[in-house]
Structure 1
């Protein structure tokens, strides 16, 4: 067994807590360490054997990918702490076929999303405005967490009420994919002004400079993996960022918005990707039946 003291789980746990705050990630890494006796010196072939072992367990392809993600994090940790010079699986990508269907009946309604935004309260009052900005970008612009954390000050134009996603791609000759300009809601304008004022004061107190729009209390770029936790501080229903994005897309299509416009809004490269969020007439009928005549 590898967990014989060579790798201090305390240090590894602290590393994960600091960078990811994901307890299940630590558990998944320990699963790998219990399988791989010589994990610190393992090579690509050894990791491929582990992936094959997982596949034989009849795991969902997405679960297998999550295991590989955890293994990559483990080797990031070894590199950053000087325990290993090379990363054996940094470029490894799996081609297992994923189920890309969207369970539209399990998504949030527009009313639920609006209520979540309006009622959100942060345990840390100083982060209330910043966190509401993040939630607004999820609920109103359906941004991905990586898009939110990559936003720069120059991407926000409050006078025009616009926000630019992937500005570099938009200004290049290859303007395609998820680059786009999106309108801000009226209630976001004042919120953004308030956040920018807080942000400016924060950087002055820290004697720092940064062009990144969303910052941590330390004036650093926010880790996208932390967004789910920071917007779900209270017990009860969890609003997951990916599910929020999926819900916004599905709700736009449910409101009979043009498919092409929704595709541009969300940054999907293919209209077929957007199409997956559209309820069929049969699904709409079944949902209506379930709402008015629920099974006891």
Structure 2
């Protein structure tokens, strides 16, 4: 019996990539009628549509990677002998400039937290108070939370928990231990079926039921926290807190503040 696409993905890629790979391939199949026999030009036309819909570079790169996986699967199963886009790469340059003027203020983050449902507050609190990455968030285990010391231990650092977070953690852990019979080695945050979250799912989960203008991505939350901390703290202190390996990464949030000031001045007194 021939291996299915889903089985191929499960056998060749890590669980965290299964959903995104399968979804991207399905979207491509739905758009491309004769996808099994598609030519290079057919695939380029599809990528052009993604570009014209204002998809970001990383999104298009993910779609291209997924389509490549699909044609490797067709080769693997003997449905197709050639790979039409084996050597195709994107040559776009990624704009890594951090637009600090577009980030959130402390007040905006507080409003976002206050509007968060009770069962999601701990997750949002860790993003706002500790500036965690989504990878750090989904990999927290029950044993990583030390309620007596009010600390959370991550792979690269240990961070203090605030008083209200200790309460949130206590309430949440007691709840999940009762409901899902959690053990210390288990992940702290899991889906209703007790499976670990995919990093790509966190933003959608937290912003569900929020209007579009009130949605904030986990990355934007982290970047906003770092930017706000640099207003009152030294770069080195914020670097350690954020888990940045080099100070230059942290410095980006500070140096671009000059552009933010410039933008505000131009807004009030536009140069002729």
TM-score, normalising length: structure 1: 0.65
Change (3 A) 1:283 1:187: same
Aligned partner of 1:200 in structure 2 is 177
| C-alpha distance in 1 between matches for 2:89 and 2:160 | 35
Q: CA RMSD in A?
A: 4.2
1:80-159 alignment, distance < 5 Å: 97-121=93-117, 128-129=118-119, 131-159=120-148
Aligned partner of 2:13 in structure 1 is none
| C-alpha distance in 2 between matches for 1:75 and 1:138 | 38
Aligned partner of 1:29 in structure 2 is 28
| C-alpha distance in 1 between matches for 2:56 and 2:248 | 23
Aligned partner of 2:227 in structure 1 is 250
Q: Indicate conservation of the 8 Å contact 2:235/2:247, yes or no.
A: yes
Q: How far off is 1:64 after superposition?
A: 3.6
| C-alpha distance in 2 between matches for 1:83 and 1:104 | 50
Indicate which of 129, 154, 166 corresponds to 1:165.
Answer: 154
Q: Indicate conservation of the 8 Å contact 2:142/2:173, yes or no.
A: no
| C-alpha distance in 2 between matches for 1:200 and 1:132 | 18
1:1-296 alignment, distance < 5 Å: 19=19, 25=24, 29-30=28-29, 33=32, 37-38=36-37, 61-71=57-67, 97-121=93-117, 128-129=118-119, 131-166=120-155, 179-204=156-181, 211-233=186-208, 234-236=210-212, 237-253=214-230, 255-280=231-256, 282-286=258-262, 288-289=264-265
For each residue in 1:36-89, what CA deviation from the matched residue of structure 2 results, as whole angstroms up to 9, or x when unmatched?
5437xx9xxx7xx9589959x79964344232354367579x69xx999xxx99
| C-alpha distance in 2 between matches for 1:117 and 1:218 | 25
TM-score, normalising length: structure 2: 0.70
| C-alpha distance in 1 between matches for 2:34 and 2:60 | 15
Aligned partner of 1:14 in structure 2 is none
Q: Indicate conservation of the 8 Å contact 1:143/1:245, yes or no.
A: yes
| C-alpha distance in 2 between matches for 1:161 and 1:120 | 23
Aligned partner of 1:13 in structure 2 is none
Aligned partner of 2:10 in structure 1 is none
SS of residue matched to 1:222: coil
| C-alpha distance in 2 between matches for 1:83 and 1:268 | 46
SS of residue matched to 2:130: coil
For each residue in 1:257-296, what CA deviation from the matched residue of structure 2 results, as whole angstroms up to 9, or x when unmatched?
11111111111111111111115564353354478679xx
| C-alpha distance in 2 between matches for 1:74 and 1:108 | 39
Change (3 A) 1:193 1:291: farther
SS of residue matched to 1:196: helix
Q: Indicate conservation of the 8 Å contact 1:51/1:68, yes or no.
A: no
Greater mean deviation of Cα atoms: 142-151 or 95-104 = 95-104
Change (3 A) 1:196 1:291: farther
Q: Indicate conservation of the 8 Å contact 1:137/1:143, yes or no.
A: yes
| C-alpha distance in 1 between matches for 2:56 and 2:204 | 25
Aligned partner of 1:15 in structure 2 is none
Change (3 A) 1:286 1:241: same
